[in-house]
Structure 1
């Protein structure tokens, strides 16, 4: 792929397209459009960084209501392991082996590559935030069993309407920044295509340890006005609200409707202070959503039938730190399925709360990968059973809703791929074994 010509594209749409393409030409396109942007440098002291890879919130900006504002540009880089986990003897060097470098050397390579990014960029949305996660397929390479404290099953279909492909490669790096060229340069530095990154020398990279799976690379964006700039993409209607941050038209990520980072953190075992990550890539039937449903119906199906559209606003701007779901509204879900025969997406999912508190932390973002509108639904949770509980509640199979189009947003979204990952704590993020203890 090559970066499209600038003509007819808004500035932000052009930059989004550059991130989607990736590579040196995309970096050049960003620089031609924006010029060189001053990005804050990182740190030489790894102890000054959070022990949890997923500790982003305190380093992100907030909106006027105090909700965390996610980074604007995202890339998901799929990884296939290129070294042999059998090479785990610290006493053997790569020169003595016929099948590649030792596991200890490979581990050091990964850690130094990630440390290069942390020295280059501040841990913030103005710099770079990232995680590296590992699939069940990666851990199956080891003889030992994962500890019981890690709830990480293989991905699977979760309803009879799903037939997704699965992420069965080894790992995934999630790169996020407000600056598109930062995401692009970080990826290129990790794979040996840059000599320096934000003036930091790139002496070590992941090549030889991981292969980058270009066909599984995914990208996306989030921010007020960005979805409406994609009406040139098939399936994105002109009726997408101008200020909407997400394709389906409403704000998300309300502080009181999100689990805390503490709630999604693994508490015990060798991967304590890590988390699990779920990634579902969804196609969205936007033309039907906007052209066959009016604003009042979209409010009902997104939130609940008890939500007043004026109290929500055009894109949810009237809501502050909560999606407006009271305990009474959540408790009325089953009754609402009967009368008026409509239930809300958020209303259903909220039934999975524990002691009134959410149990998953969403960090999803829009995409036009494949030249069609979609969402990379990325969630963090302590264990995958938490995600399954929320997904089951959102599916609403226990509710007697007459037609699927009235069952929240279920009739408008379709799961294309799904993957489950472990995000180890920072101290064990580089080629962890299945059970480090």
Structure 2
């Protein structure tokens, strides 16, 4: 991706394009000049590794929250797809030098950047294909099947490489600098000299790199992209125009964490990438219809959401009565809500998924990289089946938002606890 003329864009628009483009040229452009690769200046990290969470996915306590206690995700995200080099695992055993290099490189990130929105949070997750390199199998306590199509209407490609690195920060230069540092393109991160990088362990798959953004006002800055209409509300954090990630509608980090076995403290992760038909969503549907299809018809009738969901405070507003009314809404009103359907998969009223998804305009088209953490991939599948609503007697056009989203990639991952994040064996010793 070529960087555009900077003079015609705001800084926020320009750095978004730079993150999507990636590379040292994009980093230099963000930092101020064609040859400027000097380090960013953000809160520093720590040399005390024991002060950091034992869970890689323990982000919530380090991130900011709004007045209702809803965690505010970092604004800028990069998913870096990784393929192991041929000699890293031989005869079912990991080369210890490669494992040490991986851990040292990741520790460099933690020394360079504070574990926060203003610094950097990240995870390194591994696919089923990675674990198939070992003679041993994953323990029964880990549910990590190969990804698969989940409806007859989709035919996605699958993430069959080895790992994905998820980098996230409010500061776009940070995610760029961290990625480039890990792959040998810069030697200093936020004033910290790099001892080593990942170039001896992983190859970076540029064609599988994914980027995105989330936050109030960011989607509306992308109306220059084909398929993103001017109708996107100015202060909406997501492209479809409404807030998400309400505290009471998310699984807690405890609920998403593996409780037993050698990978206790880890989590499974699902990532699916999808296109969104925003032109149809905004041009053919009015606000009442959008609310009905995204939340529930009752939300629309009672005007519960406000313009972008600001009236919902800490919850999506889905009471047990509204969830139980899904079948009746389909029969009597010929429409059901996306959130209403998915909530049917809750256990004892508790959500199963911790979502950390974000908008994208990768490929110059609007979409979403849906990222969820949970104990078992089967829990994601159950929520996805409830959201699909194949059991409901309602036309596709009124079956939540299914008519507007198109899945093109899926991947399943194990995000180990921090102690096992560097090239874990399939069967770690107790």
Normalising by the smaller structure, the TM-score range is: over 0.9
Q: How is 1:275-290 mapped onto 2 (pairs within 5 angstroms)?
A: 275-290=267-282
Residue 87 of structure 1: CA displacement? Answer: 6.0
Q: SS of the residue aligned with 2:323?
A: helix
Q: SS of the residue aligned with 2:6?
A: coil
1:261 paired to 2:259:
no
Structure 1 unaligned residues grouped into runs of 5+: 90-101
1:356 paired to 2:359:
no
2:89 aligns to what? Answer: 85
1:343 paired to 2:336:
yes
Q: How is 1:2-401 mapped onto 2 (pairs within 5 angstroms)?
A: 2-32=2-32, 38-82=41-85, 83-86=87-90, 103-308=95-300, 310-401=303-394
1:95 aligns to what? Answer: none
Structure 1 CA distance for aligned equivalents of residues 421 and 207 of structure 2: 24
Residue 10 of structure 1: CA displacement? Answer: 2.7
Structure 2 CA distance for aligned equivalents of residues 367 and 11 of structure 1: 18
Structure 1 CA distance for aligned equivalents of residues 315 and 209 of structure 2: 33
Structure 1 CA distance for aligned equivalents of residues 423 and 109 of structure 2: 17
Structure 2 CA distance for aligned equivalents of residues 273 and 174 of structure 1: 18
Q: SS of the residue aligned with 2:414?
A: strand
Structure 2 CA distance for aligned equivalents of residues 7 and 154 of structure 1: 46
Structure 1 CA distance for aligned equivalents of residues 8 and 130 of structure 2: 44
Structure 2 CA distance for aligned equivalents of residues 146 and 172 of structure 1: 18
Q: SS of the residue aligned with 2:7?
A: coil
Displacement over 4 Å in runs of 4+: 33-37
Number of residues of Structure 1 aligned to a counterpart in Structure 2: 424
The C-alpha deviation readout for 1:34-76, integer Å capped at 9, x for no partner, is 9975301111111110000000000000123220000000000
Q: Decide whether the 8 Å contact of 1:251 with 1:315 is kept in 2.
A: yes
The C-alpha deviation readout for 1:299-340, integer Å capped at 9, x for no partner, is 000000111463211100111000011100000001101110
Structure 2 unaligned residues grouped into runs of 5+: none
Q: Decide whether the 8 Å contact of 1:87 with 1:103 is kept in 2.
A: no
1:92 aligns to what? Answer: none
Structure 1 CA distance for aligned equivalents of residues 370 and 328 of structure 2: 29
Q: Decide whether the 8 Å contact of 2:354 with 2:372 is kept in 1.
A: yes
Q: Decide whether the 8 Å contact of 1:88 with 1:103 is kept in 2.
A: no
Q: Decide whether the 8 Å contact of 1:88 with 1:104 is kept in 2.
A: no
Q: SS of the residue aligned with 1:311?
A: coil
Structure 2 CA distance for aligned equivalents of residues 301 and 209 of structure 1: 46
Structure 2 CA distance for aligned equivalents of residues 192 and 399 of structure 1: 52
Q: Decide whether the 8 Å contact of 2:40 with 2:190 is kept in 1.
A: no
Q: SS of the residue aligned with 1:262?
A: coil
Q: Decide whether the 8 Å contact of 1:341 with 1:406 is kept in 2.
A: yes
Structure 1 CA distance for aligned equivalents of residues 97 and 39 of structure 2: 35
